[in-house]
Amino acid sequence: MSELIIRDLGQDEDFGNWFRELLELEAEGSGRVGPADERYLVLSNEIGDWIGGLRFSLRGGVAQLIDVAVAPEERGRGHAHRLLAAFEQRAREEAAHLAEFWTDDFRAEGLLAALGWTKILMRERYFGESTWMLMEKRLEALE
């Protein structure tokens, strides 16, 4: 028997594809939820410069907003609203019934609430020992 090694690989596309296929096979026919499908939405200007972006995952009908950011010089122009609307649209297109977002930026609560999001819970001493809140929004199916 050969020596077994566990190592940190970082982000490797080849391993990621292999591992995703393995998880899909495990879930197939079992009724279990398959692997998360992580994606990016990118906001750019007319010449292709990146202004901001959003990272999210889809898994079992849940769209999880992971990160959203806008370049400092572009903030205050509604770009985060555009990205959030695009995220919700993509989630609906993928038949997600729920969107969720963990954040430690409590200023986001008012904005998200105005857009139909609800605070579900607060979790103290979570990531980085900070308090985080979970926001969610039920998504209507596209017809």
CATH number at residue 45: 3.40.630.30
Do residues 43 and 52 make contact, with C-beta atoms less than 8 angstroms apart? yes
Instruction: Report if residue 8 sits inside a domain.
Output: no
pLDDT, tens digit, 9 for 90 and up, residues 47-69: 989 999 999 999 989 999 999 99
Instruction: Report if residue 123 sits inside a domain.
Output: yes
Determine if the pTM surpasses 0.95: no
Q: Which domain holds residue 116?
A: 36-138
Per the structure, the count of domains in the chain is 1
The angle formed by the CA atoms of residues 125, 129 and 131, to the nearest 5 degrees, is 50
Residue 136's φ and ψ, nearest 5 degrees, are -145, 160
Instruction: Report if residue 26 sits inside a domain.
Output: no
CB pairs under 8 A, 24+ apart, for 108-115? 108/135, 109/133, 109/135, 111/80, 112/137, 115/81, 115/84
Instruction: Report if residue 128 sits inside a domain.
Output: yes
Instruction: Report if residue 15 sits inside a domain.
Output: no
Instruction: Report if residue 103 sits inside a domain.
Output: yes
Instruction: Report if residue 17 sits inside a domain.
Output: no
pLDDT, tens digit, 9 for 90 and up, residues 77-92: 999 999 999 999 999 9
